Amino acid sequence: MTESEGKLIRVALAGQPNVGKSTVFNLLTGLNQHVGNWPGKTIEQKVGTCHYKDWTFSVIDLPGTYSLTANSPEELIAREYIIKEKPDVVVVIVDAAALERNLYLVSELLPLSVPVIIGLNMIDVAQQQGVKIESHVLEAALGVSVVPMVATKGQGMRELLVRIQDVICDGAEYTPNAPDIRADHKDVLERIESLINDHVPPEYPRTWVALKILEGDKQLTEMMCLRLPKETWDEVYSIIKQHEDACVAVASGRYAWIARMIRAAIVKPRAGPILLTDRLDRWATHPLWGLLILAGILALTFWLTYAIGTPLQELIDVYVVGTVAHLVTMALATAPSWVTGLIVDGAINGVGTVLTFFPILLIFFAMLGILEDVGYMARAAYVMDRFMHLMGLHGKSFLPLFLGFGCNVPSVLGTRVIESERARLLTILIAPLVPCTARMAVVAFLAPAFFTAPTIVTWGLLALSLLVLMLSGLFINKVVFKGEHLAFIMELPLYHLPNWRTITLSIWQRLLSFLRKAGTIILAVSVIVWALSALPGGDIETSFMARFGRLLEPVGRLIGLDWRMMVALLTSFIAKENAIATLGVLFGAGDSEAGLAAILRTTLTPAAALAFLVIQMLFIPCVATVAAIKQETNSWHWTTVSVVFLLVVSLVGGVLTYQIASLLAH
């Protein structure tokens, strides 16, 4: 090969969770990265490039995985990528402070036919614990390059790039010491290998497939079941059946190999010091203090939202959006009114909606980013696990769901902190049932207008929302996910100081992807809803929206609501607080909220009002949330499921409320 000209090297970054892999990725690629999704998955895919001398490195960040057995979609993605896309090098980041467990992934990567380089990260943390690692001894034992690094301080990156080049240039010298198989399984393995020999797709290493089948790997077992002739498969199957314990035995074998590999390379103190992590955890995971600390953090988040976020939102709304709208209206003074409407009430309003989300998103993303980066997230999950189990969820879903009380958008986007794809999907589906501040604002306005004890009604509605949330969680878990029990197994990583570079980058990326993906949907829907409520006549009373509302009147009768209330629900799709403005226009109360309250009192029975509030609480979320759901699930299918599900739940809730309340009133 010619080395003089610039060359492209494809690097895959692998590693277990919590090893600083994203820090390494960010250091290497900086702002030259793109965040998307793995095809057909809700799992984040990050790709980026970096340059060193005249070489270009195209880096792909594989999902963090403990192993390469297809126990989760993440593991499947990582291994399929390595096997099928064949990157030039796989860089595995390992945590020096938990070397044994981290080398497990390495033991799975070495048998694949792609060169491996180990990035031995967090050597500073290991040193603090009195652990000494001789990286060159480890290198000699494993037969692969080992690069010591402290990613949080930017140390070791250049060395890593140099070693990657070395591997590419001297490819022939790459002779890893792949783990051997324990003697008691050797014969079985050879038997399986000879049986499947001619039927393994060429890109898969045969020995590796044989071992994975013996381990009980579902995906590869199914693949071979389809490819093998029936009698051969039966024979393979009977061997697997006889060795059902093999998954533990093979893992034990790998750990025994790891112990041999690191024996000479690592010196550990007999009794480790009491770590800061252990001391902090006495508080953070304490049954009482842990809850109080979590409550404190949540209180702080919401305080920040109200102290900084909401005023900023209003500033943006009044000064930025308001000024632009005003200027455009003036500039379009001579244009037909529908043009002004389309641009000002449709487009600028839509862009304004997107913009006003920024302050709140910024605060929530920052909070999530920091909690995740310092290692606290797992503790919050541990403390909340018992409660989340009530709805078939794990502790990790708690924080994103709780953020929903502020706004459902960051709640949905925040589900990225949940590793399991299934738990993430379930959390996204029920997240809109957490009543956000905008929904509560509508309740706060309407409840006092109808009821003598609005506080009780408000708390009742809140309790109802949470009850429906819980039941929906159980229901979706049972029906969609077949009630499969999700084992609660979670690593509690070491605490460390926040890495601002990683946190700012993650905030920036999340904001950017919201703007790009959700922003366009919000804008489009804003324009459409404007058109429906302004055309053809220019006022909402005669608009398409109103005609549609009248069509819905038969449904409305079941709930005791006339078409104007139905239209109010429809327009709340843009933003929940729109419901009140729409009612103001339709009931001719103008901007006077007190006037509207008085009119509503005379038109609606208390039963119908209660039904309206129930629907409003459980209804389809605002367009921004729906856009966020589309962005996160990366699927119109799940977005539709979510919308239809909430539509049915809210209407059923409304009908039941009206009918029962009417009965009780008589």
Cα angle at 348 between 345 and 349, to 5 degrees? 55
101 binds other proteins per the rule CB under 8 A = yes
- Whether residue 639 contacts residue 627, with contact meaning beta carbons closer than 8 Å, is answered with no
Of 20, 216, 309, 584, the one binding other proteins by CB under 8 A: 216
271 binds other proteins per the rule CB under 8 A = no
Given CA atoms 494, 497, 498, 502 in this order, what sign does their dihedral have? negative
Of 51, 386, 478, 557, the one binding other proteins by CB under 8 A: 386
Instruction: Map the footprint of other proteins across residues 244-263, applying CB under 8 A.
Output: 244, 247-248, 251-252, 255
Cα gap 364→399, rounded to integer Å: 10
| Rounded least distance, CB 575 to other proteins, Å | 39
- Token couple for 446: 């309407």
Cα gap 136→155, rounded to integer Å: 17
- The residue (of 492 and 581) whose beta carbon lies closer to other proteins is 492
What secondary structure letter does DSSP report for 180?
P
Interaction mask 53-72, other proteins, x per CB under 8 A: -------------xx-x-x-
| Rounded least distance, CB 403 to other proteins, Å | 22
Would strands 55-61 and 146-148 be described as parallel, antiparallel, or unpaired? unpaired
Q: At a CB cut-off of 8 Å and minimum separation 6, what does 233 contact?
A: 224, 225
- Token couple for 441: 């604002």
Cα gap 283→200, rounded to integer Å: 53
- The residue (of 216 and 352) whose beta carbon lies closer to other proteins is 216
Q: Alpha-carbon Rg of the chain, whole angstroms?
A: 29
| Rounded least distance, CB 639 to other proteins, Å | 29
- The residue (of 410 and 473) whose beta carbon lies closer to other proteins is 473
| Rounded least distance, CB 430 to other proteins, Å | 21
335 φ, ψ to 5°? -75, 160
Instruction: Map the footprint of other proteins across residues 12-41, applying CB under 8 A.
Output: none
| Rounded least distance, CB 195 to other proteins, Å | 21
- Whether residue 167 contacts residue 115, with contact meaning beta carbons closer than 8 Å, is answered with yes
285 binds other proteins per the rule CB under 8 A = yes
Q: Which stretch binds other proteins (CB under 8 A): 280-288, 301-309, 348-356, 503-511?
A: 280-288
- The residue (of 220 and 434) whose beta carbon lies closer to other proteins is 220
421 binds other proteins per the rule CB under 8 A = no
Q: At a CB cut-off of 8 Å and minimum separation 6, what does 569 contact?
A: 579, 612, 615, 616, 619
159 binds other proteins per the rule CB under 8 A = no
Place of tokens 């509560």: 440
Instruction: Map the footprint of other proteins across residues 489-508, applying CB under 8 A.
Output: 489-493
Q: Which stretch binds other proteins (CB under 8 A): 45-53, 488-496, 531-539, 592-600?
A: 488-496
- The residue (of 126 and 629) whose beta carbon lies closer to other proteins is 126
| Rounded least distance, CB 70 to other proteins, Å | 10
| Rounded least distance, CB 182 to other proteins, Å | 12
- Whether residue 518 contacts residue 45, with contact meaning beta carbons closer than 8 Å, is answered with no
- The residue (of 216 and 400) whose beta carbon lies closer to other proteins is 216
- Whether residue 8 contacts residue 51, with contact meaning beta carbons closer than 8 Å, is answered with no
- The residue (of 229 and 287) whose beta carbon lies closer to other proteins is 287
Cα angle at 578 between 574 and 583, to 5 degrees? 135
What secondary structure letter does DSSP report for 150?
B
- The residue (of 46 and 212) whose beta carbon lies closer to other proteins is 212
482 binds other proteins per the rule CB under 8 A = no
| Rounded least distance, CB 152 to other proteins, Å | 19
- Which strands make up the sheet holding 7-15, listed edge to edge? 33-37, 44-52, 55-61, 7-15, 89-95, 116-121, 146-148
Q: Which stretch binds other proteins (CB under 8 A): 224-232, 241-249, 362-370, 622-630?
A: 241-249
What secondary structure letter does DSSP report for 155?
B
- The residue (of 352 and 375) whose beta carbon lies closer to other proteins is 375
215 binds other proteins per the rule CB under 8 A = yes
The secondary structure of 590-643 as a DSSP string is TT-HHHHHHHHHHHS-HHHHHHHHHHHHHS---HHHHHHHHHHH--HHHHHHHH
80 binds other proteins per the rule CB under 8 A = no
Q: Which stretch binds other proteins (CB under 8 A): 98-106, 142-150, 397-405, 447-455?
A: 98-106
Of 81, 365, 376, 382, the one binding other proteins by CB under 8 A: 382
The secondary structure of 49-95 as a DSSP string is EEEETTEEEEEEEPPP-S-SSTTSHHHHHHHHIIIII--SEEEEEEE
Which class for 295: exposed (0-12), middle (13-18), buried (19 or more C-beta within 10 A)? exposed
Which is nearest to 78 in space by CA: 94, 93, 95, 90? 90
Cα gap 88→383, rounded to integer Å: 43
- The residue (of 134 and 491) whose beta carbon lies closer to other proteins is 491
Instruction: Map the footprint of other proteins across residues 360-379, applying CB under 8 A.
Output: 378
Of 97, 106, 262, 476, the one binding other proteins by CB under 8 A: 97
| Rounded least distance, CB 283 to other proteins, Å | 12
| Rounded least distance, CB 253 to other proteins, Å | 9
| Rounded least distance, CB 222 to other proteins, Å | 13
49 binds other proteins per the rule CB under 8 A = no
Q: Which stretch binds other proteins (CB under 8 A): 141-149, 242-250, 416-424, 596-604?
A: 242-250
Q: Which stretch binds other proteins (CB under 8 A): 159-167, 318-326, 380-388, 400-408?
A: 380-388
Q: What is the residue type of 148?
A: P
- Whether residue 335 contacts residue 365, with contact meaning beta carbons closer than 8 Å, is answered with no
- The residue (of 327 and 390) whose beta carbon lies closer to other proteins is 390
124 binds other proteins per the rule CB under 8 A = no
- Whether residue 564 contacts residue 583, with contact meaning beta carbons closer than 8 Å, is answered with yes
Q: At a CB cut-off of 8 Å and minimum separation 6, what does 588 contact?
A: 599
Q: Which stretch binds other proteins (CB under 8 A): 28-36, 276-284, 359-367, 420-428?
A: 276-284
Place of tokens 């050879």: 190
287 binds other proteins per the rule CB under 8 A = yes
Site size with other proteins, rule: CB under 8 A: 35
- The residue (of 37 and 285) whose beta carbon lies closer to other proteins is 285
Q: At a CB cut-off of 8 Å and minimum separation 6, what does 466 contact?
A: 433, 434
Which phi-psi region, left, alpha or beta, contains residue 570 (left: φ > 0; alpha: ψ -120 to 50)? alpha
Instruction: Map the footprint of other proteins across residues 319-358, applying CB under 8 A.
Output: none
- The residue (of 50 and 209) whose beta carbon lies closer to other proteins is 209
Of 289, 488, 592, 660, the one binding other proteins by CB under 8 A: 488
121 binds other proteins per the rule CB under 8 A = no
203 binds other proteins per the rule CB under 8 A = no
Cα gap 590→595, rounded to integer Å: 8
Residues forming the site for other proteins (CB under 8 A): 66-67, 69, 71, 97-101, 104, 215-216, 244, 247-248, 251-252, 255, 277-278, 281, 285, 287, 378, 381-382, 385-386, 487-493
